[in-house]
Amino acid sequence: MPDKEYERLTRARPRAKFAVISSGNSSLWLGKDHLLCIDTNGYTESYKRFYFRDIQALIIRKTGRQLWSGLVFAVLAAAFFIPAAVSAEVVLKSVLGVLGGIFALAFLINLALGPSSACQLRTAVQVEDLPSMNRLRRARAVLDRVRPLVVAAQGALAPEEISARLRDLSAPATSASARAVHPPASAVAAEDAPPQTL
């Protein structure tokens, strides 16, 4: 039996942040020498390949989306449970109790999935949002899977060399040739920090 050409890293997730009916989904797959991002809207699919030798950074930021959505689910659950508790009618009590239970279940699932995250993949020519990595646990697992492959394709940098290159990039460029130079870098993850150019 031949080896699979691609391995699924993430399931399809909506690209829109507040989509009730999704206009498009995105998923991430691992190839032999690249990552494949598949965007589909039900009628068409588009493919983007990111070769390990071209990846400059995989940036992961923890977001507050889990907290806010959990708060909304908790308020909605309470909004149905409280009238159900004080209602004297059995049918109304049952309907409100079921609706409250649905929102309470959504709250527990949101809590179990862990902190939310936003992830971007950076190359020399583009920055691609990866909405399928919307939970921190999944994003870290993907990063742990991809990092050795990027290091194998590009080589590793010593920590002091990374800080020296970051200092060089943060200093204002004095000439056009200095602005045009982009040193190769290994995949880097930054959590709870704004994106940085490597």
- Domain spans in the chain, listed from the N-terminal domain onward: 65-113
CA 118 from centroid of its chain's CA atoms: 4
Reply yes or no on whether the pLDDT at 71 is more than 50. Answer: yes
Quickly state the pLDDT bin for 177 (edges 50, 70, 90): very low
pLDDT number for residue 1: 39
pLDDT-derived band of residue 115, with 50, 70 and 90 as boundaries?
Answer: very high
Is residue 23 within 8 Å of residue 16, measured between CB atoms?
yes
Residues 143-174: tens digit of each pLDDT: 999 999 998 888 877 778 878 877 887 776 54
Q: CA 68 → CA 50, 105, 137, 150, 161, distances in Å?
A: 33, 16, 18, 35, 39
**46: Cβ contacts below 8 Å, ≥ 6 apart:** 38, 39, 40
Give pLDDT, residue 181. 44
Residue 194 has pLDDT above 80, yes or no: no
Give the pLDDT score at 103.
94
Which of the pair, 44 or 189, is modelled with greater confidence?
A: 44
Neighbours of 73 (CB within 10 A): 20
Q: In angstroms, rounded to a whole number, what is the distance separating the alpha carbons of residues 98 and 58?
A: 42
Q: Name the percent of the chain lying above pLDDT 90.
A: 28
Distance CA 153, CA 136 (A): 25
- The Cα 70–Cα 75 span in angstroms is 9
